[in-house]
Structures are given as structure tokens and as C-alpha cells.
Amino acid sequence: MKKLFAIVVAALMTLLVAAEAQAANESVTAKTPVSPVKGSFYQSYPRPANLTIRADVTIPDSQALILPMKNTKITFPSTISFNPKKSMPACTDDKLNTQSPLGTPTAVLEACKDSVVGTGTSTIYLFKQKAHPLADPILIIFSAGRSASGNAKVKIYGFSKGTGVGILMTGELKNHVLDVAIPVLSYDSAVQYYQFDLPGKELDRPDIGIAAKGLDPSYVQATCPASGKLTTNADFILGERDASTGEDTGPETTVSSPPETQNCTGLKGKAILKASIKGPKAVKNGKKGTFKLTIKNNGTAVAKGVRVSAPGGKSGKVTIAAKASKTVKVKAKVSGKKGRKATVKFTIKGSGVSAKATAKVKVK
């Protein structure tokens, strides 16, 4: 098999010398289809999601060579996020890096076996030749935790049995953009497409000793906005590099994908408010005390225009996201007999939602 592959490589080298020096006229597409892991999406409350990230480069029928993909910057819908769990170990550089045995898939998977969040596939063109695709590359996506600024990071391992070579890529989801740099591929190859599936179905490749799947079904979370539309676009950076050093040997070409819009359905949900109160232990009869109310929205919709009212005072309005909380201050009048405890009543109201709370205060 290796001898046959060497013969094919030698033949391709001969073809490459006679071929055009640089491809042109590539078009690109980027798609991020997303669906709920269970049930339905909400408009405001993030739910665990299945996500596919697909990047393709296409060349005209008349063109023999494809420019290598150097970088993709895919802009996700703002309602899709990566959410590394603290309980999942991050695939850190001390576990997996470019000096690791990337030609041995089993060793790579073992290094970060508890950090797998997705799997994928790819097709590459050997020596950039459209006539010689290789469709056996596999991809494994590991959670690399978060950056210093809190952005979710991933490591993407790729391996081709046909070339016997593995590569390691990194990506960071920053401001809804997933930026992935692609190193020089073996035999000066070019990527035709790559696809990441998170959490994805099991990648079962017994021929290379690999069985892997995403271990965290809630790693990707998403909402569907009231518009029912999710739009994705991307910039692909293409260009020639020296196959041995990785240095640029020609100008970069940036090709933008057309916007890709998918339809979704998001339930409106419902806000549910509950408050806890901290206040003074004692207040003089007829005087006001300052109370802090921490209002939690236990529902599945945003609570808008939330205000707390009490005898003698009220707070300003706040907006509370689903499963989030905010603390407000309100001054309330305390009335009752000296030495006894008075009940202070608070009314919490927002757009289409309300709740009540009480506090016991000793009257001075």
C-alpha cells in the first residue's frame, strides 16, 4: 500500500510541474445548521444544541488547481455559544501540542480522551490537484477550556491514513467568530472541505484504532430569535505556502461566503420571578428602611421592566434574563407597635409577570 501511494505521489509531482502555478476563481460557502438536542428552542433561554460547522471551497470545472485554505473566520449567529464545563478537563498544551505524536491517532486521543466535544471529516486535494481527492481524513474536536478573556477555545486534530500524517489546529470563539488557522498539509495538499459536528455522532474508524464522540451534549447552546432566522457568513483566506517551511510563497486571497440563513422556531417561554430580601433588623415606627431584593428569573423568557414597590417607595426598572438574577434597592416604610415585628410587603412587577415577597422587621 505504501509503495503504491509513493508511486501515485511521484506521478502527481510530475503533473504538478506542468500545471498552472496558482489557482484562482475559488468560491466558498460556510454553513452552521443547528437543532435542539431535545425538545424545542426558546427565543431567550439557551438550550443544548447539535451544531454542524461546514466550510467548502469550490473551483470552476476548467480549473485544475485549488488554492490551499490557510484560515477560516466563520461568523456564527449571535444566539449560538460554546460553553465549556468546569467539570470537563481542558485539552491543554502540556497534554497535546504540535510536538505530540500526531501521526498516531490513538496516542492523540488518549492524551485528551476526556475532552472530546465533537468529531468531523474532511476531503483534501493532493498537491492541490482537483483530479486527486483524498476523502479519508478524520477530525476530533477537543475542548481547550477558555482564554484569559473568557472565550471558549478548541483544539482540532486531523489525520489522514492515506498520507499517514496528522495536524493540530486551534480555534477560539470570540465575538461570535470562530477563527481557525490551518497549517500546511502533507504533499502540499489543499482542503476541499471540513466539517465539525458537535457533539456529533460517534466517529468509528477501527482501521486506525479510533472510536470517539462528543462527551458533552450541552457544550453548544442556542436560542432561536423571534425573527425565526439564523444567519452565518465567513471569510476564507487562501494562499500558497512552502510545503516544508510553511512560509508564504504568494499573495493571500480573501474570499467571502454568501450569507447562509436557516429557519428556526423559538418558543416565547415565560418569566418566573422569585425574590430573597436583606434588610435592617429594626426600624423606628413610621420611618423607612433600605431593603435589598435579589430577584431571580427562574423562567424561560426575559423579564422586562421589572420594578419593586413597597409602602413608601419603589425601585427603578431592570431587565432580567432567563435563569439570571439582579439585585435592587428600595426604601420601605415600617409601621407597627414598638417592640414587635412588622411585616413589610413588596410587589414585584414586570411586563406580563409579577411576584410578591415579605420581610419581617422589628419596630423600634
pLDDT, tens digit, 9 for 90 and up, residues 177-207: 999 999 999 888 999 999 999 999 999 999 9
Q: Report the chain's mean pLDDT, rounded to a whole number.
A: 92
pTM: 0.86
| Each residue's pLDDT tens digit, 265-308 | 999 999 999 999 999 999 999 999 999 999 999 999 999 999 99
* Alpha-carbon separation of residue 149 from 152, 153, 172, 175 (angstroms): 9, 11, 11, 11
| Each residue's pLDDT tens digit, 351-363 | 999 999 999 999 9
Query: What pLDDT score was predicted for residue 133?
Result: 96
Domain range 273-363, its CATH number among 3.90.1170.30, 3.50.50.60, 2.60.40.10, 3.40.50.2300: 2.60.40.10
| Each residue's pLDDT tens digit, 57-88 | 999 988 999 999 999 999 999 999 999 999 99
Sequence spans of domains, the chain? 22-267, 273-363
**Positive or negative, the Cα torsion across 83, 34, 237, 78?**
negative
* DSSP label of 129: B
Alpha-carbon distance of 333 to 309, in angstroms, equals: 11
Closest to 184 in 3D by CA, of 169, 162, 164: 169
| Each residue's pLDDT tens digit, 119-153 | 999 999 999 999 999 999 999 999 999 999 999 99
